[in-house]
Amino acid sequence: MAIDSDRGAGLAERRFQAVIFDMDGTLIDSTPAVLRAWTTWALQQDVPAEALNGFHGVPSAGVVAAVLPADRQAAGLELINRLELTDTEGIVPLPGATGALAELPPDRIAIATSCTAPLAAARLAASGLVAPKVLVTVDDVERGKPAPDPYLKAAELLGFDPTSCLVVEDAPKGLQSAHAAGAATLAVVTTSPRDELLADLVVPDLSAVDWLINDDLTISVGRR
């Protein structure tokens, strides 16, 4: 396993009880669909496109609350939910995603996403990926990313302490969530600049990750 940093070397020495994946930008490429939906939404809501910068990984409700006045937020959230749910064209698995979900023990993996449950199901179906048994959406938690709730909930449902889990993310806000939960972090450079990804190990995408299942079913990780 080739490791490119001291933090990454420390990660390779650890044995994790479970791996929790973000979804959009980590397992699936939904960027074109996301951009289409939010561009349409911004035009209809008279919101400057640049006002939406920096929100990747944040639940739609949080974005809407940040850019619309309170009296328009309910309608604005209903609109973006409808736009995203009806546009899944072109959503595909990212490199290494299919292999990772197939290689890892099914009872030791989860997805924690900022999507609603219907949107997560629609995007996974469009990509052809099969969701693991544990799928935590924004509907399952009081606070979405960057709060720790999604990763704490996923670890709880898996039956493991979050500090024994590895979180795989592509977004700074998602990494903040993982760090707040106490998890180790692996970042993929698929949607954000590398220098914004403060993780224990950073790789181009999941095809660069070497997964090792130990005899006790714990998981070790390194860079190919």
- Which residues are tagged catalytic? 22, 24
* Strand 109-112, strand 18-21: pairing: parallel
Q: Rounded to whole angstroms, how far apart are CA atoms 37 and 98?
A: 26
Radius of gyration (Cα) for the chain, nearest Å? 17
Query: Which residues 6+ apart lie within 8 Å of 202 measured at CB?
Result: 4, 5, 8, 186, 187, 188, 189, 194
Q: How many CB atoms lie within 10 A of CB 20?
A: 30
